[in-house]
Amino acid sequence: MKTKIKNLQPGMIVGEDIYNLKNNLNLKKGQKLDKNTIDLILKSDITEIEIVDSSPSIGFTQKTFEELPNIVDEMVYNKWINSISDLFHHFTKEEIYVSLNNITEEIYKSLDVKEHFILNFINSFGNDSLTYHSLNTAIIVSIIAKKIEIPYIMYKQTVKFSLIHDIGYAMLDDRVINDFDSEDKNALIHNIVAYKKLQDLKATLNHEILESILYHHERYDGKGKFHLKGEKIPPLVRITQVADAYTSLTELGYTPYQALSWILKKCGFIFDPYYVGLLYEITGYYPTGTKVKLSDGSIGVVLKRNEIEFFPEVLVNNQPIKTGPDSNIYIKEVIE
């Protein structure tokens, strides 16, 4: 299927070999498009390319990094995905209460924050992308919340909110992936639509979760739609925003290193510096999936952070290597 280049999305599969010497493009049939490749295509004189049927319009799922284990067992992960999907499409008062409680408690029990995490998620490119994004966001939120040992009742409220923070897109049946600073109509109204439609569930969800749905795109500097500033923004929102941005950006094709860098640049403007710092504590300087060149010349992929954030564990030829003074192996550079 010929697709206009303006409609290309990360995850689409190229259906033809493309060699364009003028624009320094060399694409192979079967290659998956990422953000950087799409940027190159948009700068070229190409107007359309062949995309195979496994495009986001039909939908498929994949790990962010195929060579790395998923952050949680995939059977458990898929069970949560099915529950969230049912919640988004068929929820009733009783169902939303039971489902949110069950998923929140299971996530809590599944994550041991004494360990450092391999932040490798499954994404969906297609109609289910919102479901996967919601779960991925909630997992990061859960890790942050457990790290700072917030009271369990507050933990449950926070993770419940993170699971349904973008439910407005399910109601609109059209999602904007990177909706921070977006002027797209659905990005501007999805929170308001959800807030209004969920009023009948006020007793189930409580006022704090509903308010957080309404205000979840406020900016820390007060330049958001409702002009809430700093700690006037609900804490459920401020903790979820950093996870929301990280999972959205990596879904769009940003490398984890690029996603973290973008969030750090927006620290104090869009995001609460305290929660940006907590996200950094989880990811380390080199987040899971960052491609790096080591001091011995080998190329690897960051598996997870270690006690010192600058010396992560790196996977080289399927073998984990601990960087730092003990091994005398260090990261020389990030490969974008």
Q: CA–CA separation, 129 vs 300, rounded Å?
A: 29
Alpha-carbon distances of 266 from 71, 217, 261, rounded to whole Å: 26, 13, 9
Residue with tokens 């409609």: 7
Alpha-carbon distances of 317 from 64, 119, 290, 314, rounded to whole Å: 18, 19, 15, 10
Three-state DSSP at 13 gives: strand
Q: CA–CA separation, 56 vs 180, rounded Å?
A: 21
DSSP state of 175: -
Three-state DSSP at 112 gives: coil
From first to last of the 336 residues of the chain, give the pLDDT tens digit: 788 887 788 778 887 778 776 667 777 766 778 888 888 888 888 888 888 754 444 445 666 677 788 899 989 999 999 999 988 887 677 778 888 999 999 999 999 888 899 999 988 776 688 999 999 999 999 999 999 999 999 999 999 999 999 999 999 988 888 888 788 899 999 999 999 999 988 888 889 999 999 999 999 999 999 999 999 999 999 999 999 999 999 988 899 999 999 999 999 999 999 999 999 999 999 999 999 999 999 999 999 999 999 999 999 999 999 999 999 999 999 998
Closest by Cα among 214, 171, 169, 209 to 187: 169
Looking at residue 97, its pLDDT comes to 82
CA angle in degrees (0–180, nearest 5) for 318-321-322: 155
Looking at residue 300, its pLDDT comes to 96
Three-state DSSP at 286 gives: coil
Whole-prediction pTM: 0.82
Which phi and psi angles does 330 have, rounded to 5°? Answer: -130, 160
Looking at residue 113, its pLDDT comes to 86
As given in the structure block, the two tokens for residue 67 are: 């060579």
DSSP state of 5: G
- 146 touches 155 (CB < 8 A): yes
Looking at residue 55, its pLDDT comes to 40
